[in-house]
Structure 1
Amino acid sequence: MQHIIDRFISYVTIDTESDPNSDSTPSTEKQWNLANKLVEELKAIGMEDVTIDKHSYVMATLPSNVEHTVPTIGFVAHFDTTPDFTGKDVTPQIIENYDGGDIVLNEKENIILSPNYFKDLLQYKGQTLITTNGLTLLGADDKAGITEIVTAMEYLIQNPEIKHGKIRICFTPDEEIGRGADLFDVEKFGAAWAYTMDGSQIGELEYENFNAAGVKITFRGKSVHPGYAKGKMINSMLIANDFINELPHDEIPQETKGYQGFFHVTDIQGSIEETKLQLIIRDHSMKKFIKRKELVSKIVKKINKKFSKQFGADIAICEVKDQYYNMKEKVVPVLFIVDLAEKAMISLDIKPLIKPIRGGTDGCRLSYMGLPCPNIFAGGHNFHGKYEYVPVESMQKAVEVIVKIAELTATTDFNNTEEPQDTREKKDKKKKK
């Protein structure tokens, strides 16, 4: 346990916040600090073919220790942290034998991590938690995943009696700004399939995610002296507000869960003359995803038609850009890779929580790049903010899952493992109901 704690803290205390406004990869120079550290650490524990490319993607190999042919598998995690909340000067706190009560993260600022609000805390009573000091995020997303992968590789190297095939690992930059897979060299990685260690609570196993799009709309107006504005002024901020009010009020993040999609306004900046609005569209169903994009276009056309005579041109300019798609389409044909992870968890007395991701990971992008890549828990909770925490026992279990998947891969006959697709589809429909 202490080994995992020390490794994790050595990672999270390095600031690796990514920057969506940067055009470089990695998007921030400081991400190199952890990337280079990982290269040296992987060499030190005995990994082979350790490489880092000009964009800071770190790859390494654990060679097979069996004579028969085994599929090459991979494990992936990202080392950047979200720009949504500061990752500078992270000061972790270790709470041993958690008693189930409030945790004071910062007494001066009266910041408290309470099970009255975050009920998941109660399932970790008696365990060791790592929290923030209330002023930064923690970085368990996804430095917990990196900790688990490195520790699992180290364990397999130190215990050669555990049989496994060739294992490839990769640590990526800029996942938090949606660019983690942009320059991922799938051919160089050379795995038949992989797993991202980027989920949340213990037991999570995911092979479905949102279809995602980003929308940028510029609303134009006409500024006139307010005392003489009758029939002349066009306030672009009010038009932007009209657009928002046309969206379904109950299809927003705070009103949806499970397989329910949403519209989410993320940014609005404006004046009378011009207002820029950004939103994201999310849905697991491709059919519904397309309809959501069509609705945005329909509302924009309605607004343009309303002001066409008064403004003399389109008053709203809309740009919709797809970001990523549901990995399910690429994983279902090789669903045995999900079954393998599920079997590993069950053998370790971990209850698998197979559910859709209400978001996306590098894995969904990689799946469409030819590397099927379900997502496995890393153990953390409340990502992207000051209430983030991770139970150390969950990280220990994630290490065990990685080791067990490697072991099962070396002993499984993959000619007879595929579950009929329609059986799994029926299970999915029951879950949705």
Structure 2
Amino acid sequence: MFTNYNYTVDERFKRYVQIDTQSDPLSSSFPTTEKQKDLSRLLVEELKAMGIADAELDEHGYVFATIPSNTDKKVPVICFCSHVDTSPDSSGTNVKPLVHLNYDGKDIQLPDDPAVIIRASEHPYLASKKGDDIITASGLTLLGADDKAGVAEIMDAAHFLMNHPEVKHGAIRILFTPDEEVGRGVEKLDMKKLAADFGYTMDGGELGSLEDENFSADGAKIVVDGISAHPGAAKDKLVSAIKIVSEIVDALPKDSLSPETTDDRDGFIHPVRISGTVEQAEIDFIIRDFETNALELHEAYLRRIMEKVVAKYPGAKGVLRVKEQYRNMKEVLDKHPEVTAYAAEAIRRAGVQPMKMSIRGGTDGSRLSFMGLPCPNIFTGEMALHSKHEYVSIQDMQKAVQTIVYLAQLWEEKA
């Protein structure tokens, strides 16, 4: 089916990553940055140019579009979703995508900062891509493959389906979201407007990966009130909230329960931001575990640490506030096994061995699953995320395009 197809995914990807769409975790607006809409507006234009008449960008920054059904069968409406924003962890301004044709398997030194070297020894997946065409940034920014690889793959798959009516499928909904990287990607999504039965996020990593399980996640904030006093007359009066929150962080375990000391199915408590003054200081945490009930245990442990430290400082007060972020999608997907099974079969049809994996993190799909759209996550090829070492294989992206098309076809066949 794809023998003579001229893929557009790499050309689209190289254009999309040059548009700065970085989201902002400190912003209270939605989307958190207006510049995310720069890419979204372009996507709407390109979808309409394909003949997708209902493509639109709403006031919240969501892109909706429909590839119309071309079958007489009654087929469930399937949605493919990716996010347009890039991580705040590394600059996304003036990204220069570089293509390393027929990658030789060696270290890749990035020209705009020779100190940035993507070492094959540190990136075994990259080493396995010898002979592929690899796209990186130039050394000063992240690349933005997370998740513009997914965006470009959905766009190329849409292009294929609109130009190959012989491939039968039901109605396909396309959704591009803002603010996924700051945990707010579907916060204002109108599910009735989306009007889909099942979904797939294109936001996974290595070729063949299929993820139907993710961390359950809470956000937590410790607020400590100290006692301010003039430093020249502070003896036996001043109680520094800054020192107290520093001591709370220092009291966390050094050899466990942190991202840097855990893997596989281990959960963690991770301080991500400290701010404040002598009088009041705050620590923001993310708390993660595959077992949802374990979150309460982690939070109780953190509360005990806070109370023990604060008790050493007369007059100080501490409070822990917890907010639910997202839950393990497996709790929903286990009730709809066909959604993941069809994805695995589509990956096989693309000539790739599917690999069931768990996400030590979350995607829009984890929240969408609990909003009524069971939604596992499929590979895009994006690797070394949120860093200047980020890279993607063009051949991996092409296989993701095939997977989307085969998946649309499978749902029609099974209807």
2:11 is the counterpart of 1:6: yes
Partner of 2:378: 376
Contact kept, 8 Å, 1:100 with 1:125, in 2: the verdict is: yes
1:114 is aligned, of 114, 119, 139, to 119
2:132 is aligned, of 127, 134, 143, to 127
Partner of 1:411: 413
Distance (whole Å) between structure 2 residues aligned to residue 19 and residue 207 of structure 1:
28
**TM-score of the superposed pair, with normalisation by structure 2:** 0.94
Indicate the percent of aligned positions where both proteins have the same amino acid.
45
Contact kept, 8 Å, 1:106 with 1:112, in 2: the verdict is: no
Partner of 2:142: 137
Partner of 1:265: 271
Contact kept, 8 Å, 2:121 with 2:127, in 1: the verdict is: no
Aligned AA (2:60):
H
Structure 1 gap ranges (5+): 414-433
Partner of 1:210: 215
What do the CA deviations read for 1:202-244 (whole angstroms, capped 9, x no partner)?
Answer: 1111111111111222223345677886654433333223322
Aligned AA (1:45):
M
Distance (whole Å) between structure 2 residues aligned to residue 12 and residue 181 of structure 1:
22
Paired positions, count: 409
Partner of 2:3: none
1:325 is aligned, of 303, 324, 327, to 327
Partner of 1:149: 154
2:104 is the counterpart of 1:104: no
2:40 is aligned, of 8, 31, 35, to 35
1:300 is aligned, of 306, 319, 323, to 306
Distance (whole Å) between structure 1 residues aligned to residue 270 and residue 169 of structure 2:
44
2:242 is the counterpart of 1:240: no
Partner of 2:337: 335
Shift of 1:182: 0.8
**TM-score of the superposed pair, with normalisation by structure 1:** 0.90
What do the CA deviations read for 1:138-196 (whole angstroms, capped 9, x no partner)?
Answer: 11111110100010111111111111111111111111111110111111111110000
Distance (whole Å) between structure 2 residues aligned to residue 124 and residue 171 of structure 1:
29
What do the CA deviations read for 1:47-95 (whole angstroms, capped 9, x no partner)?
Answer: 2321221112111111111112111111001111111111110001100
2:200 is aligned, of 184, 195, 200, to 195
2:371 is the counterpart of 1:361: no
RMSD: 1.9
2:188 is aligned, of 176, 183, 198, to 183
Deviates more, 1:229-238 or 1:240-249: 229-238
What do the CA deviations read for 1:325-363 (whole angstroms, capped 9, x no partner)?
Answer: 111111110011001101111222212121111111111
Partner of 2:76: 71
Distance (whole Å) between structure 2 residues aligned to residue 56 and residue 225 of structure 1:
48
Distance (whole Å) between structure 1 residues aligned to residue 354 and residue 94 of structure 2:
35
| Pairing of 1:76-95 with structure 2 (within 5 A) | 76-95=81-100
Contact kept, 8 Å, 1:11 with 1:143, in 2: the verdict is: yes
Partner of 2:285: 279
Contact kept, 8 Å, 1:46 with 1:154, in 2: the verdict is: no
Partner of 1:62: 67
Partner of 2:398: 396
